[in-house]
Chain A
Amino acid sequence: DTEVTQTPKHLVMGMTNKKSLKCEQHMGHRAMYWYKQKAKKPPELMFVYSYEKLSINESVPSRFSPECPNSSLLNLHLHALQPEDSALYLCASSQEINLVGTEAFFGQGTRLTVV
C-alpha cells in the first residue's frame, strides 16, 4: 500500500468556522508533511513531523494547527481562516525526514474554499 489518504476532498468553510483536515498513511513512514498549493504554483511547505514530533514550522499563522496523534495519522486544524487561505492542502509522507534519496508520497489533497 503506497497510498496517502486525505479527507475530505473538498471543504467550504466560513471565516468563523472550525474544521479539520485528516491524512492517513500505512507505509510505516516516520516523516509526515503538510503543504499548501495555490493555483499554478508549486507546493509550499507548512509543517513537518518526524516520529510524531513537530520538526519544522515554516512560520505558519496560528490559525493553522497541526497534530500528529500517531505514526499513521496527521491532522490540520483550521480556525478563523481568511479567504486568502483558500488553496489545495496536500499531505505527504516519506520514510524518514533526513534521507536525501527517498521520495515523498502525496495524497490527493483537500480543496479548501474559505467564504
Chain B
Amino acid sequence: GNSVTQMEGPVTLSEEAFLTINCTYTATGYPSLFWYVQYPGEGLQLLLKATKADDKGSNKGFEATYRKETTSFHLEKGSVQVSDSAVYFCALRGLDSNYQLIWGAGTKLIIKP
C-alpha cells in the first residue's frame, strides 16, 4: 500500500540557516504529493504541492521537487526565519489510497534567533 516516510524531528536550526526536510514515498502509479504546515494551536495549511514527476512546488520561499526516480519530495528553504517554526507534514494522494491523503509522521521544526 501507499506510505510516506519523513525524517525524524525535531529539527533545530538557527535563523537564516538552510533547511531540508526529507520525505520519501511508496506508491504505485502517479500520486500527487503535498507539504502541509501546522503552526502551534492551529489547523493544517497547504504549503505546496506537485502533481507529476519533475514538477516543482514552491510557496513562501519553500520548494520541493517531485522525483519519481528516487520517490522523494524533499522540502527546502534557503534561509529560515523564527516564524517558520511549526510541524511539517508530507502527504500523498493517489488511486491506491482510494484518493485519500496518506500522511507522514510530521517533522517539528524549531528555529532559534
| Chain A residues in the interface with B (C-beta under 8 A) | 4, 6, 40-43, 45, 48, 56, 90, 92, 97-101, 103-109
Residues of the A chain whose Cβ atoms lie less than 8 Å from the Cβ of B105: 41-42
**B99, A40: Cβ atoms under 8 Å?**
no
**A106, B51: Cβ atoms under 8 Å?**
no
**A41, B42: Cβ atoms under 8 Å?**
no
| Chain B residues in the interface with A (C-beta under 8 A) | 30-32, 34, 36, 42-46, 49, 51, 87, 89, 91, 93-95, 98-101, 103-106, 108
**B104, A106: Cβ atoms under 8 Å?**
no
**A101, B51: Cβ atoms under 8 Å?**
yes
Considering the complex, give the chain A residue whose CB is closest to the CB of B55. Answer: A101
Find A106's partner among B43, B93, B103, B106 (CB 8 Å cutoff).
B43
CB distance from A25 to the nearest CB of B (A): 13
**A42, B98: Cβ atoms under 8 Å?**
no
**B99, A101: Cβ atoms under 8 Å?**
no
Can you sample 13 A-B contacts with CB below 8 Å?
A40-B106, A41-B106, A42-B104, A42-B105, A42-B106, A92-B44, A100-B51, A104-B101, A105-B46, A106-B36, A106-B43, A106-B44, A107-B43
Considering the complex, give the chain A residue whose CB is closest to the CB of B6. Answer: A42
- For the complex of A and B, the 8 pairs showing the least CB-CB separation, nearest first, are A42-B103, A101-B51, A106-B44, A106-B43, A108-B43, A101-B32, A109-B43, A98-B99
Considering the complex, give the chain B residue whose CB is closest to the CB of A42. Answer: B103
Considering the complex, give the chain B residue whose CB is closest to the CB of A103. Answer: B46
- Cα distance A103–B91 when bound, in Å? 10
Residues of the B chain whose Cβ atoms lie less than 8 Å from the Cβ of A109: 42-43
Residues of the B chain whose Cβ atoms lie less than 8 Å from the Cβ of A98: 99
**B45, A100: Cβ atoms under 8 Å?**
no
- Cα distance A108–B99 when bound, in Å? 23
CB distance from A51 to the nearest CB of B (A): 14
Besides A42-B89, A101-B32, A103-B49, 19 other CB < 8 A contacts?
Answer: A4-B43, A42-B103, A42-B105, A43-B103, A45-B100, A45-B101, A90-B44, A97-B99, A100-B31, A100-B32, A100-B94, A100-B95, A101-B49, A101-B51, A101-B93, A103-B46, A106-B44, A108-B42, A109-B42
